[in-house]
A and B are shown apart, each in its own frame.
Chain A
Amino acid sequence: MLSSRLGGSLLDRLKQGIQKTRAGLVEAIEDTIHGKKQIDADLLEELEYKLIGADIGVRTATEILERIRQRVDRKLVGDAAGLRNVIREHLLEVLQGADRPMRWAGARPTVIMMVGVNGVGKTTTIGKLTALYKSEGKQVLMCAADTFRAAAIEQLEVWGQRTGTEVIRQQQGSDPSAVLFDALQAARARNVNVIIVDTAGRLHTKENLMTELEKMTRTARRVVEDAPHEVLLVMDGTTGQNGLEQARKFTESSGVTGIVLTKLDGTAKGGVIVAISRELGVPVRYVGVGEQVDDLLPFDPEKFIESLFA
Chain B
Amino acid sequence: MFDNLSEKLQRVFKNLRGEGKLTAENMEAGLREIRVALLEADVHFKVVKQLMEGIKEKAMGQEVLTALSPSQQVIKIVHEEMIKILGAHQARLRFANEPPTVIMMVGLQGSGKTTSTGKLARYLSKNGNSPIMVSVDVYRPAARQQLAVLARDLKLPIFAGPDGENRPLELARGAKREAMQTGRDMLLIDTAGRLHIDDDLMTELAQLKEALNPTEILFVADAMTGQDAVKSVEEFHRRLGITGVILTKMDGDARGGGALSIRQVTGQPLKFVGTGEKTDAFEPFHPERVAQRILGMGDVLSFIEKVEQNIDQKQAEAMQRKLLEDEFTLEDFRDQLKQLSKLGSMESLIGMLPKTGIFKELQKAKVDEKEFGRVVAIIDSMTPGERRNHMIINGSRRRRIAKGSGTSVQRVNDLLKQYGEARKMMKSLTGGLMGLGGMMGGGKMPGGRVAAMLSKKLAGKLKMPGPPGW
Contacts and interface: CB of A to CB of B under 8 A. Distances in A.
Interface in B166-197: 195-197
A53 B45 contact: yes
A195 to B, nearest CB: 20
Contacts of A198: none
Contacts of A239: 224-226
Nearest to A55: B226
Contacts of B214: none
B385 interface: no
B224 A52 contact: no
Nearest to A52: B45
Interface in A20-61: 20, 49, 52-55, 57-58
Interface in B38-63: 39-42, 44-45, 49
A14 B44 CA distance: 27
A54 B225 CA distance: 12
Interface stretch (A87-95, A154-162, A296-304): A154-162
B42 A121 contact: no
Contact of B252 (A117, A155, A158): A117
Contact of B110 (A204, A236, A240): A236
A243 to B, nearest CB: 7
Interface residues of A, number: 48
B149 A150 contact: yes
Interface stretch (B124-132, B228-236, B325-333): B228-236
A117 B110 CA distance: 10
B81 interface: no
A287 B252 CA distance: 24
Interface string B401-421: 000000000000000000000
Interface in B140-161: 140-143, 145-150, 153
A240 B347 contact: no
Given A52-B39, A238-B225, A267-B197, A120 B110 contact: yes
B69 to A, nearest CB: 26
B58 to A, nearest CB: 22
B262 to A, nearest CB: 13
Interface in B246-304: 249, 251-255, 257-258, 277
B351 interface: yes
Nearest to A263: B109
Contact of B226 (A119, A155, A206, A240): A240
A155 B137 CA distance: 13
Contacts of B216: none
A133 B148 CA distance: 33
Nearest to B145: A151
Contacts of A272: 226
Interface residues of B, number: 51
B108 A266 contact: yes
B366 A117 contact: no
A230 B140 CA distance: 27
A118 B226 contact: no
B interface, over-half SS: loop
Given A203-B249, A205-B253, A267-B196, A238 B232 contact: yes
Contact of A154 (B141, B197, B227, B258): B141
A142 to B, nearest CB: 13
Contact of A117 (B142, B196, B197, B249): B249
A241 interface: yes
Nearest to A291: B139
B87 interface: no
Given A119-B112, A203-B251, A266-B108, A150 B146 contact: yes
Interface string B322-344: 00000000000000000000000
Interface string A140-176: 0000000011111011011100000000000010000
Nearest to B40: A241
A4 to B, nearest CB: 25
A15 interface: no
Given A240-B227, A266-B195, A267-B196, A119 B222 contact: yes
Contacts of A20: 197
A68 B150 CA distance: 53
19 contacts: A53-B227, A58-B36, A118-B249, A118-B277, A150-B147, A151-B146, A155-B140, A203-B249, A204-B252, A207-B347, A236-B110, A240-B42, A242-B253, A242-B254, A243-B226, A263-B109, A263-B110, A265-B195, A291-B139
Given A49-B49, A150-B150, A240-B226, 11 more contacts: A119-B109, A119-B110, A151-B145, A155-B146, A172-B149, A238-B228, A239-B226, A240-B225, A263-B109, A266-B197, A272-B226
The list of the 8 closest CB pairs from A to B, nearest first, reads A240-B226, A119-B110, A158-B141, A240-B42, A150-B149, A151-B146, A242-B254, A154-B142
